[in-house]
Structure 1
């Protein structure tokens, strides 16, 4: 079909890759733990939107610019790293009184889901490693003599994105369910913010130091 081969292997490989922890899953877990499943789902949808940008860019050949141009890669990398550092520092510097209690009943009413969606979108869209991943991974499952390689790429990318979205939504519901069961207080919420903020800072530094591969 469209020159696509080993579709089952592609799906399984994509699912296994989605299980690996990274900025996307970390953001979903953070929002789900502190603001509930709706916020986690909003972050997941934003991440899916960012992935669509990478899929379209790779299918149209724009992502190849990141693979061949050191300047373009560095600019996108530093912008993405700066955003991750911003997210991390905002959590680290949040005062205990500002920390969202993990069991707050009015969290859903005060959450800005559009802002959470945008965070998910930018976290993914500003990561050049995602663009390079699609360039390296997806073509392996498209035959060299495929009639329409662009359409095949878009189809495989969409399958990968749907699987990723389902995993992130499952993660959001699972973390939110655990939060509602355990009902930890604001002190634990504060330390959770600091721990996850530190991880975002570490991921931002790692991205800033990343090299094209």
Structure 2
């Protein structure tokens, strides 16, 4: 059985099911004591943020790779991703976030250092373009939500669930762009927002038609 010790199902079948072993025959009470000298039990958890948090940069990764969300027929990665430029290729200036924590910030200087002076304003331009379209999508989301709330109890259950699914898909696209920062892939972000707006419009059409 020891060769299958890491296979939890087999281990429990052999000991608990077959031999009626008590849980605490194996799972002894935790003993809190001084750890190994030089071992920091806090660092052991902090080494991987995902021990406590969801993948902190999931949406940034999705945008860079041009994946995720709803309504996209195929991946649409940013060119930087295709030539294996990672986060530190752009985020290389020492800075601090709103809580005073040290971070690496992306700046226009990085764009210029790899490309040319004409790219200096590119980051702010991309941010502005995505932000404007995002607000338009957010307004449509609110209209669709109000239409759904007004239609509660009036639509057939099947129609309401279909409309709700479309609405939630649109919300997921907004969430990816908002959380991931649309600047990480402007074209893909705009496409996600465009699909979201279409979903919200479809929701309102379904509510009116039923």
Normalising to structure 2: TM-score of the pair? 0.29
User: More relative contact order in 1 or in 2 (CA 8 Å, sep 6+)?
Assistant: 1
The structure carrying a bigger helix percent of its residues is: 1
Larger Rg: 2
